[in-house]
Structures are given as C-alpha cells and as structure tokens.
Amino acid sequence: MTTLAFLGLGAMGDPMAAHLATHARAHGHRALVWNRTAAKAGAHAAAHGTHPATLAEAATADVIFTCLPTSAEVDEVMNQMRPHLRPGATWVDCTSGHPDAATRQAAELAAQGVTFLDAPVSGGTAGARQGRLTVMVGGDAAALDAARPHLAFAGKVVHVGGTGSGFAVKAVNNALLGVTLWATGEGLAVLGRAGVNLGAALDVINASSGRSNASENLIPQRVLTREFPATFALGLLAKDAGIAVDLTQGVQGSAPVIAQVAALLRAAQHAVGPAEDHTAALKLIEAMNAQEIR
C-alpha cells in the first residue's frame, strides 16, 4: 500500500487533496492530510475520507505533496519533517515557489535519499475542483514518471526541465497574467474616460487581437460586476511577478515590462490589500484615472 500525504489545505490544496483521496481509495492507497490549522485537516478527513496527520506522520509517506503560500513555508515544514523522512520517497511541491529555493531544497532532500520535484499548478480554484489543473514540473523525468499516476488533480502534466524549471515557468506565466490584466485595465480606464461603453468595448476587444483571459473572463466576471471574488490573492500574484523579476536578474536578462508591472502590482497590493482578489489590482488603475471600470 502506497501512502500519500498532502500538506496545505487552502483554496487550492483542499480540492487537490480531495482528488488525491479519491485516487487513493480507488487504488488501495492511504491518503494523509496536514494543515497548519488542525481543524481544517479534521474537516477534510470527515468530508473525503483522508487521515489527519502530524508532520512527523506525514514525513513517512511515499509521496509527499505540498501546496503552501511560498517557499518559506515549505522550508518550515521541511525542517520539521526532515528527521522522519523515508529514503526513496518523493516530495512534489505544488507551491508557486522560487527556483533558487527548489535547487537548495532538492539538494537537501537528496542527501536523505528523497527526490524533489517542483510542480506548481495553474487553473485556479475552478480547475482544482474539476481536477483539470495544468502541472508544470521541474526535476528528474524518471521521478515524474513514477509520481505521475498520483497527480489526480491534473488535467495536463508537462515536464519543463531540470530542478527549478517548474517554478520558473509558473512565475513567468503569472507575470504574464499580471501584464495582460494591468494593460487591459489601463486601456479600459482610458476608454471609460473617453465616454466609451466598456461592455461594448470588451465585445470588440474579445473578437480582435487585443483579447486575453483578462479581457474574456477576469474583467467581465470580476471587475465590471464589482464582485472581485477572492480566489487568487493579489499578494500572491505580486509575489509571483517578483519571482519573475528575480529570475530575469539571475540569468542577466532584460524584461522591463515585467519589472514595471511587478512594481505596479506591489503598489496595488499595498493600496488595495494583499488578501484581495488579484483582479482588485485594477482599483489602483481606477484611482490613477479617477475612472471606475464598470
């Protein structure tokens, strides 16, 4: 019997762990869950048939999944679990982490005979609930092949390169989300000041070359409606864009647009609040233009 452990039952982790539990039941495996707030793990166990565990217990699993806010939190749990880890295990980190942290964490775990895969996900809470997340994986290809059957929350799994590559792709992907969201917000604020009907403007943009996920989905559903449902925190988007800036500097690249938008997202985080939905970043654009986007 294979033991699987999932650490971090937040907005993404909770449904991801639920899919893992379904997979475990179907294949005769055991699924453990841990959360910093123990009551959440207990509730997940009651709802999905998982087993709430301590970090020491979770450390004995064959495959350990983490889905935490940043690499710093992964370091915290890793340090507590290290004395109990089992050689031959695989650690799959679905956190939107930092490539530099992945390199260090992989080396530390390798010294104990544990393989590390950085495997952040994309698809949002809806994708997590549907089990259709895209997983971008950095690390050993053979280790991914062995872990792949347990990625029960995935609709698409792509091996993108060596250790840290998964985190790098995720950071750039989310930076591009920030760029398109911010640029579309600026354009709509300008059009609003010009007296244009923004719903009509989006109809045109979404049938033209300026369309994006921001224009087709995020802004119509979250901004024009003024709902801003908190599914992906603004502070986390700003963090990811910052990682993309770090990556650019680390490879001595040049990405001035990403750097500028990362700074603007950080400003929006301070002005609007880090826990607000990422689309609420456009409230800063509204303030800059004295124009509501609706």
Give the catalytic positions in this structure. Answer: 170
| Token couple for 42 | 């207990």
Query: Residues 223, 294: contact at Cβ < 8 Å?
Result: yes
CA 105 to CA 21: how far, in whole Å?
26
* Distance in angstroms (rounded) separating the CA atoms of residues 71 and 161: 19
What span, in angstroms and rounded, lies between the C-alpha atoms of 75 and 122? Answer: 22
The SS3 call for residue 135 is strand
The whole-angstrom separation of Cα 159 and Cα 129 is 23
Can you tell me the distance from the alpha carbon of 73 to that of 36, in angstroms, rounded to the nearest whole number? 10
Distances (CA, A) of 36 to 8, 9, 67, 69, 76: 7, 9, 12, 12, 11
